[in-house]
Amino acid sequence: MTIGSLLQPYVLRVEAALDSRLQHTSIEPRLQQAMRYALFNGGKRIRPCLVYLVNELLDGDNVEADLPACAIEAVHSYSLVHDDLPAMDDDDLRRGKPTCHIAFDEPTAVLAGDALQAIAFEWLAGDASTLAADIRLRAVALLARAAGDRGMVAGQAFDLAHVGRPLELDQLQRMHRHKTGALLTAAVELGALSAGVSAGERYDALRRYGDAIGLAFQVQDDILDIEGDTQTLGKPQGSDLAQNKPTFPALLGLDGARARLRALHADALRALEPFGEHAGSLRALADYIVARDH
Amino acid sequence: MTIGSLLQPYVLRVEAALDSRLQHTSIEPRLQQAMRYALFNGGKRIRPCLVYLVNELLDGDNVEADLPACAIEAVHSYSLVHDDLPAMDDDDLRRGKPTCHIAFDEPTAVLAGDALQAIAFEWLAGDASTLAADIRLRAVALLARAAGDRGMVAGQAFDLAHVGRPLELDQLQRMHRHKTGALLTAAVELGALSAGVSAGERYDALRRYGDAIGLAFQVQDDILDIEGDTQTLGKPQGSDLAQNKPTFPALLGLDGARARLRALHADALRALEPFGEHAGSLRALADYIVARDH
């Protein structure tokens, strides 16, 4: 089974859930069109897939995982919209399509990002969820922390502050653990919470899995920036190098970066050992993350 | 007693609470400096004062209101930082001080705003609160909705989409009910929730009070833009007119706008009648909102 066919039911599931949750009306329809554009931009839906796969591994019902899956995808989407802004990375294209501020305009992109962040917390906390109140609260606090000034946004700020400046390996790793790792680990935790599991050995093992694939994801991103071609990546190949961004291959060499990727992949698989056969899908996802070509 | 001395203990209280909650460290200290700069920018703290005053009116303990008060001020502060961005209102000054993107830089302002929104929900949902789980969840959902695409952000998007275009009175009111009213009403509701009151006649009456002062606040803002002087306002007098923004005086005339303000003030006081003597502070706040000169 390919990773695409493995993940497809979850991708379809979260997209149907997102679609149905965005049916309400606003006084400013264009704002909501921009939110929808940002949410349905051809993304791989890795974070919601993680929520569902972890929830299933812990015998959860995926109905309980729908809102957490939607919420983390909304936070991820908002972060892409703001990252692409002219004041930030100034990207016109994402996955080969015009970025939100190009398809709409800059103020609309700022506000659509802001509203996507707000709606993520509304979805997690709202009455539509049947999860226990303490689990939902834990989910809100965890996602907020992973998204904020000790998580994703801190990583992004650190990144912007260090463009063109040399980074040590541990700084680079810390940056990525914040910038992309925090949200991927949060996805795993939201999956566990959806199954009613909020602590214990299984929870900790899954967190370690999330940490490992989060960093592996970024190492592979850096490798792809050197190896990939523009059409497959949806962004110009070599753009990190051109912008003098610190990367794993720049610090470790391409072979060193590949070795680091293999070590992280092994960490991820080791974390899944206690789950035996049941963790086949999460194993396949880890395999995909280190082998993907875009 | 002046409104200043009436509100001072609450202003000091929320500022101490904000200060102590921002002591954690991030990998990017400059991001947190910007968040602090945005939070401590000389604002009037009307929203947190509302949280405390309503909480006290309903016999709540203000310890329970600290986190909701901090959270709503964080959301308000983030919205000002993003509103001031070059792509939005492009303001260099707020209350006579450089705006966040001037004092820092534009990417830092975008990210500081994003992180302030996230931290608001972390504060409301986190373990530091001793409020019941269902009340905290209600607070998260309510604040998220008031801040998002059916609240504040929708109002801001509607406003930007209609600069230079004529608005009917009901459109103008709807815009302000979203843009500023939603968050002021949410402050009142958070105050009630802090006291453990989440429904009923008193809750509804306080909501009506919040709606009335929210709109009154904006009508007075529009009047001040014509009548006030630049130094007191902290922004150029007449700047709404210069930007051809729709305002209450433009639609109703200055006398008509003043009459609307008096009617809203009367609505606010009427909503407080059931509370008798105890609502003296909320009455004084309503008086201040319609009489303030900046």
Out of B110, B121, B126, closest to residue A87 by CB = B110
pTM, 2 dp: 0.94
Q: Would you call A86 an interface residue with chain B, using a CB distance cutoff of 8 Å? A: yes
Q: Using CB atoms within 10 A of its CB, is residue B130 exposed (0-12), middle (13-18) or buried (19+)?
A: exposed
ipTM of the complex: 0.94
More confident residue, A6 or B26: A6
Q: Would you call B199 an interface residue with chain A, using a CB distance cutoff of 8 Å? A: no
Q: Chain B residue with minimal CA distance to A25?
A: B150
Mean pLDDT of B76-93: 96
Residues 13-52 of B with CB under 8 A from A: 24, 26-28, 30-32, 35
To the nearest whole Å, the CA of B122 is away from the closest chain A CA by 5
Q: CB B175 to CB A27 under 8 A?
A: yes
Mean pLDDT of B68-97: 96
To the nearest whole Å, the CA of B88 is away from the closest chain A CA by 6
Residues 234-293 of B with CB under 8 A from A: none
Query: In terms of DSSP H, where are the helices of chain B?
Result: 3-21, 29-39, 46-57, 62-83, 100-103, 106-125, 133-147, 152-161, 169-176, 182-194, 201-227, 230-233, 239-242, 248-272, 280-291
Task: Spell out which residues of chain A touch residue B119, defining contact as CB-CB under 8 Å.
Answer: 144, 148-149
Task: Spell out which residues of chain A touch residue B108, defining contact as CB-CB under 8 Å.
Answer: 157, 160
User: What is the overall mean pLDDT for chain A?
Assistant: 92
Q: What residue ranges in chain A does DSSP mark as E strands? A: 93-94, 97-98
More confident residue, A41 or A123: A123
| A23-27, A235-239, B115-119: least confident range | A235-239
To the nearest whole Å, the CA of B168 is away from the closest chain A CA by 14
**Model confidence band, residue A236 (pLDDT cutoffs 50, 70, 90):** low
pLDDT at B230: 52
Q: Using CB atoms within 10 A of its CB, is residue A175 exposed (0-12), middle (13-18) or buried (19+)?
A: buried
User: What is the overall mean pLDDT for chain B?
Assistant: 92
Structure tokens at A188: 């795993």
Q: Would you call A55 an interface residue with chain B, using a CB distance cutoff of 8 Å? A: no
pLDDT surpassing 60 at residue B163? yes
Out of B127, B137, B149, closest to residue A115 by CB = B149
Q: Would you call B90 an interface residue with chain A, using a CB distance cutoff of 8 Å? A: no
DSSP state, A200?
S
